[in-house]
Amino acid sequence: MSDALEPNTSIGKALDRAVTSLTRSPCTRARLIERLTKQGFTEQTASDACDELERLGYQSDHAIAESVVRGVLSMGPAGKRLLMMRLRARGVPNEIAEQVVSVALEGTDALEAAVEAAQKKMRSMPPSMDKQVVVRRVSSYLARRGMDSGVCHEAVRRAWAERESS
């Protein structure tokens, strides 16, 4: 066992608390340092503990980012904006977030995904509903899913044309 893991040292205590914290809920390096400093450890000690946990494979911002993105995408189509917002909220560094999001969205056609989502949403609305209401609700839904405004507009236009032709 290395000296860094000795429980009677400050870093050993920080590691013990960090592992306990990670057991309860996985978190990013930034959040873990924040938790440890709130418990009275210096920022340097917290950072050293995080370095050790990363080296041992117990903590990975990249793995957390991938997990968050998978979770968001499992709930339906999502645009880059929504994914980046969720990752920033979890404290994932921008460079890791950009990398994970670009890999996750690689090979997907944002417009096609938005059209499918818009069609599905429109099917759940009564056929007698006014066009403006449908367009507004579907556009809002797509925007909340992180789609760009141009993609939202085109997807709603195509979905409405499909709805009218049916």
- Euclidean distance between CA atoms 142 and 147, whole angstroms: 6
- Secondary structure, 3-state, 82-109: HHHHHHHHCCCCHHHHHHHHHHHHCCCC
User: For residue 77, what are its two tokens?
Assistant: 């189509």
Tell me the pLDDT tens digit for each residue of 44-59.
Answer: 999 999 999 999 999 9
The residue-averaged pLDDT of 9-29 equals 90
DSSP designation for 157:
H
Q: Amino acid letter at 74?
A: S
- Count of CB atoms within 10 A of residue 83's CB? 22
**Contact predicate 44/14, CB 8 Å:** no
The residue-averaged pLDDT of 10-26 equals 92
Band of residue 9 on the pLDDT scale cut at 50, 70, 90: low
What is the predicted pLDDT for the residue at 10?
A: 87
Band of residue 1 on the pLDDT scale cut at 50, 70, 90: very low
**Contact predicate 15/24, CB 8 Å:** no
What is the predicted pLDDT for the residue at 4?
A: 46
What is the predicted pLDDT for the residue at 5?
A: 45
Tell me the pLDDT tens digit for each residue of 87-143.
Answer: 999 999 999 999 999 999 999 999 999 999 999 999 999 989 999 999 999 999 999
